[in-house]
Amino acid sequence: MQRVAVVGSAGAGKSTLARQLGDVLGLPVIHLDTVHWQPGWVEPSREEWRATVERIVQGERWVIDGNYGGTMGLRFAAADAIVFLDLPRRLCLWRVVKRRLQFRGKQRPDMAPGCPEKLDLGFLRWIWAYPTASRPEVLRLMEEASHGRRIYRLRSRKEVARFLAAASNLRAEA
């Protein structure tokens, strides 16, 4: 695995897994949140964002974590492995609330400068709706990109741990 796209609901553990995979596989990690957001939670235009992602995926080796549905297809097309953290929404909600408490008034390490942790009802609703509103599109894009790529759909913390252990073994064998 040289180019790994990690996706899933907020709170699924994308950034944590991306960091761990980067360490295990010796790959640079790109958290899309750090690239996408400008201070004060300002977003780039769609054109600017697409150009940025197009440039990023041209790299030879990477682990990229983040959703950003408008560019997911670009990342999947460039990846040799796609990891979908398809964890239960209650777990994702709990992790987001816990993260908010942990980083209250501070910036997470995987977030852009000038964007302190925040949480609002709309974001919580998005997480709750993810299985029916966003998952089908992720699965469709994964299916479209499945030819010639490793696809991992991880549905529990145990599956994530086994995947990471297997990735460690791949690195050891290389």
The helix (H) or strand (E) run that includes residue 67 is none
Instruction: List, in sequence order, every residue forming a beta bridge with 85; answer none if it has no partner.
Output: 8, 154
Total count of domains within the chain: 1
Minimal CA–CA distance to 53: which of 17, 85, 79, 26?
Answer: 79
Residue 174 has pLDDT above 60, yes or no: no
Q: Which pLDDT score, from 0 to 100, does residue 3 have?
A: 97
Is the pLDDT at 171 greater than 70? The verdict is: no
Find the domain containing 22 and state its range.
3-173
pLDDT at residue number 60: 97
- CATH for 35: 3.40.50.300
Among residues of the chain, what percentage have pLDDT more than 90?
90
Q: What mean pLDDT comes out for the span 131-147?
A: 96
Whether 30 and 64 have beta carbons less than 8 Å apart is answered as: yes
Q: Is the pLDDT of residue 172 over 60?
A: no
Average pLDDT, stretch 109-128? Answer: 93
User: Is pLDDT above 80 for 137?
Assistant: yes
Q: Which whole number is the average pLDDT over 154-173?
A: 86
**Average pLDDT of 117-143?**
96
User: What is residue 168's predicted lDDT score, i.e. its pLDDT?
Assistant: 82
pLDDT digits (tens, 9 = 90+) for 35-94: 999 999 999 999 999 999 999 999 999 999 999 989 999 999 999 999 999 999 999 999
Helix extents (H) in 13-155 = 14-25, 32-36, 46-57, 69-78, 89-102, 121-133, 135-145
